[in-house]
Amino acid sequence: MANEFIIKNELIVEGIKQSSIGGTLLVDGYTTVKNNIIPQSNGKGPINTTMTETDYKSNTTITVDASTASQSIVYTLPTPTLGLRYNFICSANAGTSVTVRFSAPSAVLGGFVSCSDGNKTISGAGASSITNMEFGGATFKKHSNLEFISDGTSWFVSGFSLGLVADITTS
């Protein structure tokens, strides 16, 4: 078979910034792939990050320490590209008056978040897509986890929050 790669035993992949394999990859054994992990904290001031594919490769996990009071956090996702995936994990409870917002570059965000008291649908009127999803003051809780996946035209969010449904607003 043309473009066939066969690995017999073990393949461990770490720290790849960008790679591409054309053809078929067959693995006889097991594989371990470690995602890129980027820890971020609002300890030195507010975070207002417009993400790009250059700075945030697909399959990046961002751990968010939001514990410093009054230092809000905003992540703007890049333009949707087929297969892009980002994971956000809250590593410390949000401090007093801290809001945490996840934004799309336009109204292309939708999905749901399972909260401690029920599910929050992330959409606008008539199930239309939205641009912003925000956790109000001090409601982004440790161990909450959000995953954003793009199909090339939209961003789909799923995850869980240890906060309440009412803690999440959309616009």
- Identify whether residues 77 and 15 lie together within a single domain: no
- Identify whether residues 115 and 131 lie together within a single domain: yes
pLDDT tens digits along 136-163: 877 899 999 999 999 999 999 999 999 8
Which amino acid, residue 92?
A
> For residue 3, what are the domain limits?
1-34
pLDDT tens digits along 127-136: 678 999 999 8
- Identify whether residues 30 and 106 lie together within a single domain: no
- Identify whether residues 96 and 58 lie together within a single domain: yes
Bridge pairing between strands 145-150 and 85-92: antiparallel
- Identify whether residues 124 and 155 lie together within a single domain: yes
Kindly state the average pLDDT of the residues 73-81: 96
Our count of domains for the chain comes to 2
- Identify whether residues 29 and 52 lie together within a single domain: no
- Identify whether residues 90 and 115 lie together within a single domain: yes
Distance (Å, whole) CA 27 – CA 49? 38
Average pLDDT, the chain: 86
- Identify whether residues 60 and 46 lie together within a single domain: yes
Six token digits for residue 61: 């996990």
- Identify whether residues 2 and 24 lie together within a single domain: yes
Residue matched to tokens 């992330």: 122
- Identify whether residues 156 and 99 lie together within a single domain: yes
Which pLDDT score is estimated for 14?
60
- Identify whether residues 11 and 91 lie together within a single domain: no
- Identify whether residues 59 and 114 lie together within a single domain: yes
